[in-house]
Amino acid sequence: MRVVPKTSARLLSLLSLLQARRDWPGALLAERLRVSARTVRRDVDRLRELGYPIESAKGPDGGYRLGAGSALPPLLFDDEQAVALTVALQTAAGGVTGIEEAAARALTTVRQVMPARLRHRVDALRVVDVQRAGTPDRHRVEPALLMTLSAAVHAREELRFDYESVSASAPDAPPRRVQPHHLVTWGGRWYLLAWDLDRDDWRTFRVDRISPRTPTGPRFTPRELPGGDVAAYVAGRFKGATGPGDWPCRGEVILDLPARVVSGWTRDGIVEALGPDRCRLVLGGWSWPGLAAVLGRYDADIEVVGPPELREAFARLARRYAAAAEPNTADADRPAPG
């Protein structure tokens, strides 16, 4: 004899199925729940009474879809989803102000409805978002500003905004006019990637320095981003590259260190073993002196393979460091304390 699950358990199973995929034929739902199509219809009506916006599809097969409603009904999460949601809520306020209290209340709500076995796991998972010492809080932005910019990106509407420059040399600068394409994060900050209409080029703007003006401008046709990859393009811009994804200065050296040691301290470089205690390293930087200084941090003998600009940068730093190592005449004549 077939065992029919209780109504409450069956409703939870039905809701879980509706959340798992976009469209469900009625016959397939009945088969998965091991009930009749009529029972499925009654269960769908019960879920609607509870606030779930379930849409019906017309046609010979019929079907159902969980739509978006005006209010948020109860949700179902599996164990992995619940843990992921807990971590996300604990770190949600790391880059956006104004949502700390809401995130804490949401975390409390999720925790209260968790089964005991999962609640114990989540309670043991405490995530602390630590900011670097001396990092200013100006990169934290209000949710309303993110929503405004995101809406303009989605609607493809031109934006006008006042932009707080790094220097205060242009307090009366005219508003910027851009075609917003993407909101991105880099190094804990929010940026707007947009086509600058006045400068006829791509620009990245720090969101915390943007003060939008209303209304928005006309709609625009999106341009094709160079390279087509947003992440690669933004990374290249912050490296100072003229093209997407590469450093403006790239050099090659041989270090008297094992490749396994060098690779452990190299994030954006190519390490090739040349022996048990030697390796080849190709690395990039914003400038030749900066790249030479980074290579000096490996604290090993260095042989420059190329290019000549890197060798000249090492010579320049050598002279500078040698001068810094010379005793200061004024300090030498000053009497010792005590």
pLDDT in tens, 290-311: 999 999 999 999 999 999 999 9
pLDDT on residue 142:
80
pLDDT on residue 3:
43
Q: Which residue type occupies 333?
A: D
Biggest CA–CA distance in the chain, Å, is: 103
Grade residue 337 by pLDDT with cuts at 50, 70 and 90.
low
> Do 273 and 258 meet the contact criterion of CB atoms below 8 Å apart?
yes
Predicted confidence (pLDDT) per residue in 223-237, tens digit: 998 877 787 777 777
Pick 265 or 196 by higher pLDDT. Answer: 196
Interval 182-204 mean pLDDT: 87
Pick 131 or 22 by higher pLDDT. Answer: 22
Grade residue 129 by pLDDT with cuts at 50, 70 and 90.
low
Residue 32's alpha-carbon distances to 44, 103, 190, in angstroms, are 15, 36, 44
Share of the chain above pLDDT 70, in %: 79
- Within 13 Å, how many C-alpha atoms sit on residue 155's CB side? 13
Q: Report residue 303: phi and psi, to 5°.
A: -115, 120
Q: Is the pLDDT of residue 31 over 50?
A: yes
Q: How far apart are CA 234 and CA 184, in angstroms?
A: 8
Q: Is the pLDDT of residue 44 over 70?
A: yes
Q: Is the pLDDT of residue 97 over 70?
A: no
pLDDT on residue 279:
93
Share of the chain above pLDDT 90, in %: 26
Q: Which of 290, 285, 284, 258 is nearest to 270 (CA)?
A: 284
CA atoms 219, 224, 226, 229: torsion sign: positive
Q: Is the pLDDT of residue 245 over 60?
A: no
Q: How far apart are CA 172 and CA 318, in angstroms?
A: 45
The answer to whether the pTM exceeds 0.85 is: no
Sheet holding 159-163, edge to edge: 201-206, 189-196, 176-186, 159-163, 210-213
Interval 190-212 mean pLDDT: 91
Pick 163 or 234 by higher pLDDT. Answer: 163
pLDDT on residue 2:
44
pLDDT on residue 24:
87
Grade residue 60 by pLDDT with cuts at 50, 70 and 90.
low
3-class SS letters over the chain: CCCCCCHHHHHHHHHHHHHHCCCECHHHHHHHHCCCHHHHHHHHHHHHHCCCCEEEECCCCCEEEECCCCCCCCCCCCHHHHHHHHHHHHHHHHCECCCHHHHHHHHHHHHHCCCHHHHHHHHCCCCCCCCCCCCCHHHCECHHHHHHHHHHHHHCECEEEEECCCCCCCCCCCCEEEEEEEEEEECCEEEEEEEECCCCEEEEEEHHHEEEECCCCCECCCCCCCCCCHHHHHHHHHCCCCCCCCCCEEEEEEECCCHHHHHCCCCCEEEEEEECCEEEEEEEECCHHHHHHHHHCCCCCEEEEECHHHHHHHHHHHHHHHHHHCCCHHHHHCCCCC
Tokens 């939870």 sit on residue: 12
Tokens 């190709």 sit on residue: 282
Q: How far apart are CA 84 and CA 142, in angstroms?
A: 24
Q: How far apart are CA 157 and CA 181, in angstroms?
A: 10
Interval 141-148 mean pLDDT: 83
Q: Per the structure block, which two tokens stand in for 295?
A: 């290579």
**Mean of per-residue pLDDT scores for the chain:** 80
Tokens 């690669």 sit on residue: 232
pLDDT on residue 210:
93
